[in-house]
Chain A
Amino acid sequence: MEELKWFAVDFFQAVTAGLLVGGTYGLMCVGLGIIFGVMRVVNFAQGDFMMLGMYITYYLVTGFGVLAFLGPYAGPVVGAALAGPVVFAIGWLLHRYLLARITGARVISAEAEGHYTQIIMTLGVALVLANGGLILFGSTPLSVQTPMSRESWEVWLIFFNQARTVAFVLAILFAVGLYLFLTKSDLGKMLRAAADNPIAAAYVGIDVDRSHRFAFGLGVGITAVAGGLLASTQSFQPYIGFDFVIVMYAGVVLGGMGSILGAFWGGLTIGLVQQVSTLVLPYQLQNTAIFVIFLLIIFFRPQGMFGRVWERA
């Protein structure tokens, strides 16, 4: 009986940890979801943009101490938020000068050939970013230490790591903000229109290429913010992007490619799976559990939870 009680506690602890980290994963997946939903581009470098977000936050808060004046509580938050626009700009430029040459309204009608060049180009970008990061930042794992990183609130025997909880709340706020932007603002609606039907969008006067560029910047920027939030909860090194690519895709595919809301739920679920799997699996294999889920979804329900059934798999 006692054992059962402790198992239950362990289980709920894992669920809590899963939800908390899942919030950030959800935000991360939303970023990828925007890119895939709007542009139908498989972006391999998404994880590396997240990595950039982490490092930018680090340097703003700890490294160069630019935000030190904000104090140890607000600093990391603002740092994560600022990583967004910086990475947005990088993504915008990348799309303008590299990706746009092989993606865009033209490719919508192209056969498989056009498709694979996009994926491969982003693989090249991923390699450059990850290894470039190695060169610039070095290989020592870093993290953004805040007074909350190691503190936890205790509620009924369950520990809520403070940094993770704050990250969770902020992730939800950012996601809601993004949702409002996409549904209520004119620019957001135009993005959705360009995603829904690029041909019709061009006919009503929407600059589809520019929409794609904006969506790309937005997508990588959001993921970078998520990374910035994660930066205060775990350590990272330049290659962390590769680990997260599958995690993100698993989340987006689970939620349904093309659904932003789905991407968030998908990311949340993946976070849950990851943490709950540690109850039965050794620590090193937690990502393997995600891969297995990912493969299962792709095989049995490729449209995910919220995706449209006629999404071509």
Chain B
Amino acid sequence: MSDVSLDVDEGQFVAVVGPNGAGKTTLFKTISGVVTPIVGEIVYKGQDLLKVPPNERAQLGIAHVPEGRQVFASMTVKENLEMGSSTRKSRARRAELLKTVLELFPILAERRDQLAGTLSGGEQQMLAIGRGLASAPDLLMLDEPSMGLAPTIVDAIFDRIEFIHRHHGVTILLVEQRVAEALELCDRGYVLETGRMVLEGSHDTLISNTRVKHAYLGM
């Protein structure tokens, strides 16, 4: 990644798109703290994030829903969600938060006591998102939620994501290779290519931009 700058305002839905290897996941990892940038700064709610160790960042209200879902396969759905709400802030409100998540994803309520590893891909994605929400985050980061999922399931997932944004007012930072859905839902978007920001703009400007088309279809 080099010279990447982006802003996410409270309550916004920001999307970052780009082909594979463009640096999207690296971007997320830098924000979560798994990777340390050589230069640059990350400011979160006025605080210098680089001074905060990775597991503390979650305590600050950043929820990272990782690529490939990464559920706790040997634990039940309920336990996964409980782990999601293990930050100091959310622990007190655990019962209430879990109820909200289960209402959002009824299928998870059904499979409450099932081992997460036995869920289908789509269900696991919902669990991962639910787990992120269970911490009552100020910023919800979603890393390629559509990966490996069938188109109809992807539609359902994005539908829920949009609902979460609209209804619960959660600030969302979404990274996706599926350009259409990402740009469709966002307020603002960025296009990343080989580690650089090549395009940025509001929802309307990006939707019709030819460069985006070119990047994906060689047209």
Contact = CB atoms under 8 A, between A and B. Distances in A.
A touches B (Cβ under 8 A): yes
A121 to B, nearest CB: 25
A253 B197 CA distance: 50
Interface string B53-71: 0111111000110100011
A135 interface: no
Contacts of B75: 189, 192-193, 196
Interface in B83-120: 83-84, 86-87
A200 interface: yes
Please give me the 4 A-B residue pairs with the lowest Cβ-Cβ distance, nearest first: A205-B58, A200-B70, A196-B72, A203-B64
Interface in B67-83: 70-75, 79, 82-83
B73 A196 contact: yes
A186 to B, nearest CB: 7
Given A189-B79, A192-B75, A204-B86, 19 more contacts: A189-B75, A193-B75, A197-B71, A199-B34, A200-B70, A202-B32, A202-B54, A202-B55, A203-B32, A203-B64, A203-B66, A203-B70, A204-B63, A204-B83, A204-B84, A205-B86, A205-B135, A206-B83, A207-B55
Interface residues of B, number: 26
A208 interface: yes
Contacts of B135: 204-205
Given A197-B71, A200-B71, A190 B83 contact: yes
A205 B58 CA distance: 5
Interface in B18-34: 32-34
A93 interface: no
Interface size bucket, A side?
A: 10 to 19
A201 interface: yes
Nearest to A208: B55
Most B CB contacts (10 A, CB to CB) among A193, A203, A205 go to A203
A285 to B, nearest CB: 38
A207 B74 CA distance: 19
Interface in A178-222: 186, 189-190, 192-193, 196-197, 199-208
A196 B74 contact: yes
Contacts of B203: none
B173 to A, nearest CB: 14
Given A189-B75, A192-B75, A196-B75, A204 B87 contact: yes
22 contacts: A189-B79, A190-B83, A193-B72, A196-B72, A197-B72, A200-B70, A200-B72, A202-B34, A202-B54, A202-B55, A203-B32, A203-B58, A203-B63, A204-B58, A204-B84, A204-B131, A205-B56, A205-B57, A205-B59, A205-B86, A205-B135, A208-B55
A206 B54 CA distance: 9
A204 B72 CA distance: 11
A206 B63 CA distance: 12
A206 B66 CA distance: 15
A282 to B, nearest CB: 43
Given A196-B73, A205-B59, A207-B55, A189 B66 contact: no
Given A199-B66, A203-B66, A204-B135, A189 B83 contact: yes
B59 A199 contact: no
Contacts of A200: 66, 70-72
Given A189-B83, A190-B83, A199-B66, A205 B72 contact: no
B120 to A, nearest CB: 18
Contacts of A207: 55
A123 B82 CA distance: 38
Contacts of A205: 55-59, 86-87, 135
A207 B63 CA distance: 15
Given A197-B70, A197-B72, A199-B70, A206 B64 contact: no
Most B CB contacts (10 A, CB to CB) among A193, A200, A206 go to A200
Contact of A193 (B33, B34, B54, B83): B83
Contacts of B71: 197, 200
A58 to B, nearest CB: 38
Nearest to B57: A205
A201 B83 CA distance: 8
A217 to B, nearest CB: 19
B26 to A, nearest CB: 14
A207 B135 CA distance: 15
B55 to A, nearest CB: 5
A164 to B, nearest CB: 34
